[in-house]
């Protein structure tokens, strides 16, 4: 039980930096005299680092173990956040972004695989709900600091201290971690050169890419859709936009309890059906009803990602799970990185009216990919 608490705290820390840059950029950008677009460059650098560390995570984790990798990864994020408080130029921000991205990818892959191997599906859902807690807490802490008339630099230092507190907690609990069995199996795979290839692997990677394309693009552009197409005011639209993440967080909490009775695949199917209905409501409903449909979108999205991860060892085998989860995380981050700018370009060229239609197209492709994956891996 003590280790589970530490793992949950680690996933809060994983989400903690994610929303901070966007929330503080209106203050940070003029203070550093940076071009507005440079926030996108910083985000892209972080994503590249995350993809790189996710792809190499299985070798690092196999050699050093989950506990050491998690400790070092969280330390890297704490180090990077402190660096953000010192940076005074765009090159400096980019430099400090590198350890932030590298740390995030490793800890994400390590903890996802560890929980998939050692705990039931409910813990995977709860794990990802705690990411939502962290993603909400980061901007909240920064906002509180700014309300107290302190510098954004103080906010970054406070977040860095929170991360360092977790580093000490992880170090103190390192004896609780046990991945010796999986490490031995993974080492045998590496030494024997057993092929990672499986006919279902492309569909597993595609599913993670499409899921993140759906979630991230909705989170980024839904508020603009409500303002430009549905005619909601800025404040009302921002409130309804936040309901998407409330739905994801609450939905994952609830999915943890539902998973006592339902398999991973059944949870995924229910989530996909809820998403389909809610996106149609977003497209057809007027004003506030359209805004409320974002809450339902979040509830639908909630069980899909953690259930897909938890299913990985069952679909591909324990000995390959860390390597495949690393690839899945990389595919997910690629989807998170390239989809928002594509949506932005299309929105600029054609307007936002098409957004729910494109979301539905992505959702249909996701359904097809998951169905093919289930058939090829004989998932029930």
Per-domain boundaries in the chain: 2-192, 201-377
Q: What is the pLDDT of residue 296?
A: 92
Q: What is the pLDDT of residue 305?
A: 92
In CATH terms, are 2-192 and 201-377 the same topology? yes
% the chain with pLDDT above 70: 94
Q: How many CA atoms are closer than 13 Å to the CA of 234, on its beta-carbon side? A: 0
pLDDT (tens digit per residue) in 302-326? 999 999 998 988 888 877 777 888 8
pLDDT band at 240 (very low <50, low <70, confident <90, very high): confident
Say whether pLDDT at 51 is over 90: no
pLDDT band at 44 (very low <50, low <70, confident <90, very high): confident
pLDDT (tens digit per residue) in 122-176? 888 888 888 878 877 887 888 888 888 888 899 999 999 999 999 999 999 888 8
Q: CATH for 201-377?
A: 1.20.1250.20
% the chain with pLDDT above 90: 28
Q: What's the pTM? A: 0.77
Q: What is the pLDDT of residue 231?
A: 84
Give me the chain's average pLDDT, please. 84
Read off the pLDDT of each residue in 251-271 and give the average, rounded to a whole number.
90
Say whether pLDDT at 334 is over 80: yes
Most confident among 38-42, 234-238, 297-301 (mean pLDDT) = 297-301
Most distant CA pair in the chain, distance: 61
Specify the CATH architecture of the domain 2-192: Up-down Bundle (1.20)
d(C-alpha 14, C-alpha 35), whole Å = 28
């Amino acid at each position: 039980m003590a280790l589970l608490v530490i793992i949950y705290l680690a996933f809060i820390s994983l989400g903690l930096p994610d929303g901070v840059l966007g929330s503080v950029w209106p203050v940070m950008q003029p203070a550093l005299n940076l071009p507005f677009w440079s926030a996108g460059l910083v985000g892209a650098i972080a994503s590249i680092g995350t993809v790189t560390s996710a792809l190499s995570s299985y070798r690092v984790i196999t050699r050093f173990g989950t506990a050491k990798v998690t400790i070092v990864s969280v330390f890297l994020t704490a180090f990077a956040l402190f660096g953000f408080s010192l940076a005074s130029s765009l090159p400096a921000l980019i430099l400090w972004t590198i350890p932030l991205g590298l740390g995030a990818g490793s800890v994400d892959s390590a903890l996802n695989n560890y929980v998939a191997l050692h705990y039931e599906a409910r813990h995977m859902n709860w794990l990802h709900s705690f990411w939502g807690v962290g993603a909400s807490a980061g901007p909240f802490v920064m906002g509180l600091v700014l309300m107290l008339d302190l510098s954004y630099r103080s906010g970054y230092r406070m977040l860095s201290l929170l991360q360092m507190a977790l580093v000490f907690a992880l170090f103190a609990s390192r004896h609780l971690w046990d991945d010796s069995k999986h490490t031995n199996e993974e080492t045998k795979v590496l030494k024997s050169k057993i092929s990672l290839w499986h006919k279902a692997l492309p569909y597993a990677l595609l599913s993670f890419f499409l899921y993140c394309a759906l979630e991230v693009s909705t989170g980024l552009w839904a508020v603009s859709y409500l303002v430009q197409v549905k005619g909601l005011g800025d404040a009302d639209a921002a409130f309804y936009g936040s309901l998407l993440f409330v739905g994801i967080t609450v939905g994952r909490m609830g999915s943890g309890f539902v998973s006592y009775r339902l398999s991973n695949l059944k949870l995924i199917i229910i989530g996909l059906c809820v998403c389909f209905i809610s996106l149609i409501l977003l497209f057809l409903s007027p004003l506030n009803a359209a805004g409320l449909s974002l809450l339902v979108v979040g509830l639908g999205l909630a069980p899909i990602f953690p259930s897909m991860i938890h299913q990985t060892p069952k679909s591909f085998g324990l000995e390959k799970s860390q390597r495949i989860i690393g690839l899945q995380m990389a595919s997910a981050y690629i989807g998170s990185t390239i989809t928002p700018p594509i949506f932005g370009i299309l929105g600029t060229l054609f307007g936002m009216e098409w957004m729910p239609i494109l979301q539905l197209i992505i959702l249909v492709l996701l359904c097809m990919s998951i169905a093919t994956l289930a058939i090829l891996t004989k998932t029930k």
